[in-house]
Amino acid sequence: MSSRQITIIANWKANLPPSEEVALAKEIAESLLGALPKSGLPSDVRVLLAPSTLGLVPVASLLRREYPHSALEVAAQDVSLSIPGAFTGEAPAEHFVGIAPAVIVGHSERRRDHGETAEVVGGKLARAVAAGLAPVLCLGDDLPRAEIASRVAYVEEQSVATFAAAERAGCSAARLLAAGLVIAYEPVWAIGTGNPASVEIAEGIAAGLRSALNREELPVLYGGSVDAASAAAWFGTSTARTSLDGLLVGGASLSADRFATIVRAALSAAGSAQ
C-alpha cells in the first residue's frame, strides 16, 4: 500500500452562485458519508472544494458547522498579486487565511483569458506562500499530438520560468516546496473536450517535473476532462498505485454523485474505502 496522499480538488470555476455552491457542498458531503470510515476522511486522502471567491466563506462555514467529520476543506481559485490595501476588487492572499488553506495558481483559463504570464503566476505563488497558503500550481501544454518527451520539455520549461519569477518575487523553489506546493498538470488541449490525456502522458510529466526539481515526493495531480467513470485508472489500486497523486476536477465536480464517485475511487486506491 502506498503512503502517498491522494488529493482531489473540485474546481467549480464561476459556474454557480454562492447559494448553489453551498447546496452542492452539502450534497457532496452527504454523498460521501456512507463511503467514509467511522473516523472520517483518512489522512491519506485529501478533498478540497474550490468555490467562487464569493462562495468561499459560506461553503467553509457549512463544512465546519455541519460536516466536521467529513474533513472536507476549501481552496481558493485564485489570488491577487497585491498586498492588502487600496486595490479595488482585488483578493489578497492574506484575506484567505483561516478560510482556505490552499489556492489554485496559474490555471490555464487565467493564463488564456487574463494574460497571466510566468512572471504574474510566479508573483502570485510568492504572495500565497508569504501568507501561509499552500499553492496548487497549474502547468500544461497545448501540444495535442506531441510525443511525451516534447510535452515534458515544454512543461519543465514552463515550470523553470515560473519558479524563476517566484524567486524574483522573494520566494525560492525550496520555500515553495516547503510550503506544500502541489503541481497540477492540465493539458490545455484536453480541458473541456471530454478527451483527457492518457495516464501514461500524465505520469511522464510527473516524472519529468520530479526529476527537474530533484524532488521525488513532489505531489503531481492531473486535470483535464476527468470522468467519474474512469477515475480509478488515474489512481491505480491500493497494491499498484500510479505515480500520480490525485486530480483537479472541473465539470465532473459540479455533480455530487459524479464527484463522490471520484472520491470513492481515491479511497479505494488508498485502501481506505468502507
What is the 8-class DSSP label of residue 251? G
**How far apart are alpha carbons 259 and 250 in whole angstroms?**
10
Residue 145 above 80 pLDDT?
yes
Residue 1 above 60 pLDDT?
no
What is the 8-class DSSP label of residue 241? B
Amino acid, single-letter form, for residue 128: A
User: What are the b/e assignments for 207-229, b being 16+ CB within 10 Å?
Assistant: ebbbebbeeeebbbbbbbbbbbe
Q: Which residues pair with 10 in a beta bridge?
A: 49, 249
Instruction: Check residues 133 and 43 and name the one with the higher pLDDT.
Output: 133
Report pLDDT for 35.
75
**How far apart are alpha carbons 150 and 154 in whole angstroms?**
6
pLDDT band at 274 (very low <50, low <70, confident <90, very high): low
Q: Which residues pair with 6 in a beta bridge?
A: 45
Amino acid, single-letter form, for residue 10: A
Q: Catalytic one among 73, 109, 116, 186?
A: 186
Average pLDDT over residues 52-77: 96
Domains and CATH numbers, the chain: 6-79+90-269 (3.20.20.70)
Of 30-34, 106-110, 230-234, 249-253, minimum mean pLDDT range: 30-34
Q: Which residues contact 273 (CB under 8 A, 6 or more apart)?
A: 35, 264, 267
Query: With pLDDT > 70 as the criterion, what percentage of the chain qualifies?
Result: 98
Residue 50's closest CA among 250, 258, 220, 239? 250
pLDDT in tens, 85-133: 999 999 999 999 999 999 999 999 999 999 999 999 999 999 999 999 9
Range among 37-41, 188-192, 216-220 with highest mean pLDDT value: 216-220
Residue 33 above 90 pLDDT?
no
Of 34-48, 50-64, 152-166, minimum mean pLDDT range: 34-48
Backbone angles phi, psi at 266, to 5 degrees: -65, -45
Q: Which residues contact 70 (CB under 8 A, 6 or more apart)?
A: 29, 32, 33, 36, 40, 41, 63
Residue 59 above 70 pLDDT?
yes
Average pLDDT over residues 246-263: 97
Q: Catalytic one among 73, 107, 116, 203?
A: 107
Residues belonging to the chain: 274
**How far apart are alpha carbons 197 and 205 in whole angstroms?**
11
**How far apart are alpha carbons 47 and 33 in whole angstroms?**
13
Average pLDDT over residues 160-178: 97
Report pLDDT for 16.
98
Q: Mean pLDDT of all residues in the chain?
A: 95
Positive or negative CA dihedral for 193, 110, 226, 251?
Answer: negative
pLDDT band at 273 (very low <50, low <70, confident <90, very high): low
Report pLDDT for 2.
62
DSSP code string of 175-225: HHHHTT-EEEE--TTTTTTS-PPPHHHHHHHHHHHHHHHT-TT--EEE-SS
Over its C-alpha atoms, the chain yields an Rg (Å, rounded) of 17
Catalytic residue flag (residue 107)? yes
Q: Cell match 510527473: residue?
A: 206
